[in-house]
C-alpha cells in the first residue's frame, strides 16, 4: 500500500498542487464530500473525458469503469446529447413552462417501463423523495419499507440498517438524522419473504422502496420468485411498490422492470437518463395517477414538497430526449452487456487461478467483485466488504490507468468501452490479486 501510495503521489505532481490549492477554498479540498473517498492521497484532477476514457491533469489516461458512478453510463459527453444540449442552451435553459421534449421523453419511458404517467426531477434522490411523499398522501399511511443496506440517494427515510441483534437504527455514517429513522421506516433483509410479510401485515406501510437487485452493497440478486411474492404481498396489504431503476437500468433499455416483467406502481430512473446532465424521472401507474389527481390542490401544489424550480427544465429534457432516443438504445445495450460478460469471465478466471475466496457477479452491463461468496442479502454482502483491501485494489488499478467506483468494486460498461479496456482490467486485477495473496 505504501509503495502504491508513493507511486500515485510521485506520478501526479499537478493533481497534488491543485489539491493543495483546493484545500484553501474547498472543504477537505474537494467540491463534494464523497470525493475524499478515492484511494489515493488526493483525487486525480480531471483534464477531460470522452467516451470510456479520461485524462488527468498530469496526462495519465484512464479507462473509466466508474463512469461517474452511473451518471456517465452513456460514455462521457456522447455526441448526440452534447449537440442537443448545445442547441437547447441557445434557445433557453429553464422556463417553468413545458416544451415538446417532455412529451417525447415521457412517451419513450412509457414504452420502456409500461407505466402511463411521468414526472421529472433533478436527481434520483428527489424522484425517490417525491414518490415516497405521494405514496404517503395516497395511502394515508406513515411508514416506508426498505431493504437492509439499500441506498436510494440522500433520502432520510432510507438511511436505516438492522443491527446484529435485529434492531433497526440510523445507518453508520448517517449525518445529523432528523429523527431516528426507525420512526419512519421498517427495514428487512432482501430476499426474506417472512420478514417482509410480517412488516407489511400491520397495514401501516405506505410503500416499499426497492432496487430490483441491490447494487449499492455489491450486487445482490433477487432469489427466484422473490419479485412475484414482493408484488403479491404489497398488493395484498395495500402497500405501493416503488422500484428504483437508477442503477439497474444496466439490465437493459427498460431496466430490470422490463427485462423481468415487473409490475411496480412507481419507477424511478435518474443519473444516466440525461447522460449526466442533471435530471431524473418517476413514472406512475394509471390507478396511482388517478388517486394523485383526485388529491391535487391547485392553490397549494407549488409548496407541497413535490417538484422544484429547475425540475423538468428545458436543458434537462433535451438531454434526456437525446439520451433515450439516440444513446441508451437497445443496440447500445447489445454491445455493453457482452462487454460486462467478458469482464466477469476474466475476473472469475483470475479469482479461481489465484485461489482467493472471492466472488464476481453481473447485472446487465454492470459487474462487481466481492471478497466472499455470493450474498443473498445486504448483511451478507456488507460482511464481505473489506475497506483496506478495496482501497489497495483501487489504488493499484488507478496507478495502472483504471478507475473503479470508489464505494465498492463496481465496473460499468459504456457503449464505447472496448475489449482491450476490459482485458487490461483483467490482467491488472490478476496481478493485484496475486500480490495480495503472496503477502
Ligand atoms: C439506486 C439509487 N437510487 C438513487 C440514487 C441517488 O442518486 P442521486 O445521488 O443522483 O440523487 C442512487 C445513487 O447512488 C442510487 O444508487
Res. 437 pLDDT band, cuts 50 70 90 = confident
pTM: 0.98
pLDDT (0 to 100) of residue 438: 81
Index of the ligand 1 atom closest to the CA of residue 127: 11
Q: Is 368 helix (H, G, I), strand (E, B) or coil?
A: strand
Residue among 123, 152, 219 whose CB has most ligand 1 atoms within 8 A, to mutate = 152
Index of the ligand 1 atom closest to the CA of residue 153: 6
The pLDDT tens digits for 311-360 are: 999 999 999 999 999 999 999 999 999 999 999 999 999 999 999 999 99
- Is 151 a pocket residue for ligand 1 (Cβ < 6 Å)? yes
What is the Cα 22 distance to its own chain's centre? 28
The percent of residues in the chain predicted with pLDDT above 90, rounded, is 96
Report the separation in Å between the CA atom of 126 and the middle of ligand 1, taken as the mean of its atom positions: 9
Q: What distance in Å separates the CA atoms of residue 27 and residue 24, rounded to the nearest whole number? A: 8
> Residue 439 has what pLDDT?
73
| Cell numbers given for 259 | 427485462
Q: Using an 8 Å Cβ cutoff, are 137 and 166 in contact? A: no
Q: Count the residues in the chain.
A: 439
Q: Name which residue sits closest to atom 4 of ligand 1, judged by CA.
A: 152
Model confidence band, residue 33 (pLDDT cutoffs 50, 70, 90): very high
User: How many whole angstroms separate alpha carbon 5 and alpha carbon 392?
Assistant: 9
Contacts of 37 (CB under 8 A, 6+ apart): 406, 407
Q: Is the confidence at residue 413, as pLDDT, over 80? A: yes
d(CA 126, CA 424): 37
Q: Give pLDDT, residue 408.
A: 87
Indicate which residue's Cα is closest to atom 15 of ligand 1: 152
Q: How far is the CA of 249 from the centre of ligand 1 (A)?
A: 12
pLDDT in tens, 66-87: 999 999 999 999 999 999 999 9
DSSP states of 291-360 as a string? Answer: HHHHH--TTTTTSSSS--TTTT-HHHHHHHHHIIIIIS-HHHHHHHHHHHHHHHHHHHHHHHHHT-S-EE
Closest residue by Cα to residue 162 from 175, 151, 146: 146
Amino acid at each position: 500500500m505504501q509503495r502504491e501510495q508513493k507511486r500515485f503521489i510521485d506520478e501526479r505532481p499537478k493533481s497534488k498542487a491543485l489539491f493543495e490549492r483546493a484545500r484553501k477554498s474547498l472543504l477537505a479540498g474537494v467540491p463534494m464530500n464523497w470525493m475524499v473517498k478515492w484511494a489515493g492521497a488526493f483525487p486525480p484532477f480531471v483534464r477531460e473525458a470522452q467516451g470510456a476514457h479520461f485524462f488527468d491533469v498530469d496526462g495519465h489516461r484512464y479507462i473509466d469503469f466508474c463512469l461517474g458512478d452511473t451518471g456517465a453510463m452513456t460514455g462521457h459527453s456522447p455526441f448526440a446529447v452534447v449537440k442537443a444540449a448545445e442547441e437547447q442552451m441557445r434557445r433557453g435553459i429553464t422556463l417553468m413552462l413545458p416544451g415538446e421534449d417532455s412529451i417525447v421523453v415521457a412517451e419513450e419511458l412509457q414504452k420502456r417501463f409500461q407505466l402511463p404517467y411521468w414526472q421529472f426531477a433533478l436527481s434520483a434522490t428527489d424522484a425517490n423523495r417525491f414518490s415516497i411523499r405521494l405514496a404517503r398522501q395516497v395511502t394515508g399511511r406513515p411508514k416506508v419499507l426498505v431493504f437492509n443496506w439499500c441506498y436510494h440517494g440522500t433520502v432520510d427515510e432510507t438511511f436505516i440498517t438492522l443491527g446484529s441483534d435485529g434492531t433497526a437504527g440510523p445507518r453508520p455514517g448517517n449525518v445529523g438524522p432528523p429523527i431516528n429513522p426507525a420512526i419512519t421506516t421498517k427495514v428487512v433483509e432482501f430476499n426474506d419473504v417472512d420478514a417482509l410479510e410480517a412488516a407489511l401485515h400491520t397495514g401501516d406501510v405506505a410503500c416499499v422502496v426497492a432496487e430490483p437487485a441491490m447494487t449499492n452493497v455489491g450486487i445482490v440478486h433477487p432469489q427466484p420468485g422473490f419479485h412475484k411474492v414482493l408484488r403479491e404481498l404489497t398488493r395484498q396489504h395495500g402497500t405501493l411498490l416503488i422500484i428504483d431503476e437508477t442503477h439497474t437500468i444496466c439490465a437493459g433499455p427498460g431496466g430490470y422492470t422490463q427485462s423481468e416483467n415487473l409490475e411496480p406502481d412507481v419507477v424511478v430512473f435518474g443519473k444516466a437518463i440525461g447522460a449526466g446532465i442533471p435530471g431524473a424521472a418517476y413514472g406512475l401507474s394509471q390507478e396511482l395517477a388517478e388517486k394523485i389527481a383526485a388529491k391535487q390542490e391547485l392553490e397549494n401544489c407549488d409548496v407541497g414538497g413535490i417538484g422544484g424550480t429547475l425540475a423538468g427544465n428545458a436543458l434537462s429534457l433535451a438531454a434526456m430526449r437525446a439520451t433515450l432516443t439516440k444513446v441508451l438504445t437497445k443496440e447500445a445495450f447489445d454491445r455493453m452487456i457482452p462487454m460486462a460478460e467478458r469482464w466477469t469471465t476474466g475476473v472469475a478466471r483470475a479469482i479461481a487461478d489465484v485461489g482467493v475466496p472471492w466472488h464476481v457477479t453481473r447485472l446487465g452491463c454492470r459487474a462487481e467483485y466481492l471478497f466472499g461468496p455470493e450474498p443473498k442479502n445486504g448483511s451478507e454482502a456488507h460482511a464481505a466488504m473489506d475497506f483496506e483491501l478495496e482501497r489497495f485494489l483501487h489504488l493499484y488499478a488507478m496507478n495502472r490507468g483504471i478507475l473503479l467506483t470508489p464505494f465498492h468494486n463496481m465496473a460499468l460498461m459504456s457503449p464505447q468501452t472496448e475489449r482491450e479496456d476490459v482485458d487490461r482490467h483483467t490482467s491488472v486485477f490478476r496481478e493485484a490479486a496475486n500480490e495480495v495473496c503472496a503477502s
